[in-house]
Chain A
Amino acid sequence: MPGLQPPDDALLSALAARDLGALAALYDRYGHLAYSLAYRILGESEAAEDVVQDAFLSAWRGAGTYRRERGTPRAWLLSIVHHRAVDILRRKTTFRPAPLELAEAQPSDDDTALTAEKNVEHRTVRDALEALPQAQRRTIELAYFGGYTHVELSELMGVPLGTVKGRMRIGLQKMRRALERTR
C-alpha cells in the first residue's frame, strides 16, 4: 500500500542515521529511474550502473548534508546521478562541439527499454517538454542529457550565447507553469 511507504524525507533522515534498510528502500524507489537517466546520458549499461552505485553511495555518505530548501530528496538524488554521468561524458570525450546530428544521436529509445511509466506526472513532464518549440526543447535536451555547456551550445547551434540562455529560460519557465498546473 503506498500509504505505508515512508516519505523520501524520512528515508534520507534514516540514511543519515546509517540505516541500510533506508538505503535499500531508496534504491528500490529510485534505482531504476536513476539508472535510466544515467543510461540516457552515457548510452552504456556498465557505466550507467557505476554512476548509479556511486550516486547512491554519495547519498548514503552525505545524507546529513541534504537541505530540504534546495529541492526534494528525489531531485537531490537525481542531480547527483546527473552530475556524475555528465562528468564521465565530458571526460570520455575531448568535448569539442560535434555536429548537431551527432550530438543528438543519443541512446535510442529502442525496444529494449521498458515502457515508460504511464502515471500522470510522467506524462505531464513529457507533454510539457514535447510542447516546447523545437529550438527550446533541443537546447534543454542537449544541455541536460548531452552535457553541453551553454557556451558550447552557442557554438554548436550557431546562435549567440544570449539566444541559448533565452531558449533555456523560456523553455524551463513554460515547463514550470505546465508542472504547476498539475500539482
Chain B
Amino acid sequence: MTEHVLDELDAYALGALDRAEAERVAQHLSTCASCRNEAAALAEVVGALPDTVPLREPRPALRDRLLEAAKADVRSPVRGAAARRWSVGAVRPWRLAVAAVGAVVIVLGAADIDAYRRLVAVTAERDAYNKTIESIREGARTWYMAGLGSFSGSGGTLYDPRAPGKRPFVLFHDLPPIAEGKVLTIWLVSPDGTWARAATFRPSGEDIQVIEINSEVAGFDRCAVTLDDAPWGKHGTVVMESRIAPPTPAP
C-alpha cells in the first residue's frame, strides 16, 4: 500500500489538487479503507456546499435536450451495450476473457475460412484486451472519449501505461465506417487548450481497434478524435471527446 494521504484529503475533496496529486490520492484510496472512509466523510461535507448557492432555474429546454440525448443512447441498444462494456469503470475484463477464449474454441471447431478470419479477429480482441488488463494492472491513467453525432455509441479509452518502455494507446470500440479518403485523428489537448496530433488512422471494421500513440501523454489532460480530410492541416469535426470538447470547428 502507498503512503497514507490524510494530509491531502481535504484538498482532494474540494477538488483543489492538481491532476497528478489527485491521481496519486485516488490510487491510494483504491487500496486503503481508512483513508477511503475519511474521504467519503469529507465528500459528504463538500457535497453540502452547493446548498450555500442561491438557486437558479435553467431554461426548461435543457430538460428536453438532456432527455433527447439520453434517448439517442437507448435507440442504439447494441452499440450502447458495447459502449457501457468498455466505458471506464464498467470494464468487465474477466467476462471478455472468458468470451474471447470461448469464441476461439467455437471458431476452431468450425475449421473453415470464415472461422479462421473470426479467429484472427477474436485473437486481436483478446490481445487488445490483454494489453488493457496489463495497463490497468500497472496503474495506467485513462481517459474515456464518448462518440458524438454519427459516432454516438462508439468510444475510445486512452491508456497511458506507467511502466517504462510502454507506449500509450487508445482502445476504440464500435467505430462506424467513414467515407473513402477521410481519416480519423487522435488529438491530445493540453490544459491551455493547445491541440497536438497524436495519431491518424482509419477504422478497421472490427468491433474494437487499438491505435498506438508515439508521443508522450504527460502534460495533456484530455483527448479527442476528429474526422478529417487529410492527416495534416487544421482539424475537422470533433467526433469523439473526453470530458467536454471545445467548440466543434466548421467542417
Binding site for B on A (CB under 8 A): 18, 20, 23-24, 27-28, 31-37, 39-40, 45, 48-54, 56-57, 60-62, 64-65, 69-72, 74-75, 78-79, 82-84, 86-88, 90-91, 94-95, 109, 112-117, 121-122, 125-126, 129, 140, 143-145, 147-151, 153, 165, 168-169, 172, 175-176, 179
Contact = CB atoms under 8 A, between A and B. Distances in A.
B15 A86 contact: yes
Interface SS of chain A: helix
A153 B52 CA distance: 21
Nearest to A90: B191
Given A114-B55, A143-B14, A87 B43 contact: no
Contact of B66 (A23, A129, A165, A172): A23
A150 B14 CA distance: 10
Interface string B136-168: 000000000010000000000000000000000
Interface in B90-146: 90, 146
B70 interface: yes
Contact of A144 (B49, B58, B66, B244): B49
A75 B43 CA distance: 7
B133 to A, nearest CB: 18
B219 interface: no
A151 B11 CA distance: 10
Given A176-B42, A179-B48, A84 B10 contact: no
B46 interface: yes
Nearest to A64: B90
11 contacts: A27-B66, A32-B58, A36-B50, A61-B83, A64-B84, A71-B47, A79-B43, A86-B15, A90-B191, A121-B48, A147-B15
A57 to B, nearest CB: 6
Interface in B71-98: 71, 73-74, 80, 83-84, 87-90
Contact of A71 (B44, B50, B243): B44
Given A57-B66, A114-B55, A116-B54, 13 more contacts: A20-B67, A31-B62, A35-B57, A36-B54, A52-B66, A65-B89, A75-B44, A75-B47, A78-B47, A84-B244, A87-B243, A143-B15, A172-B42
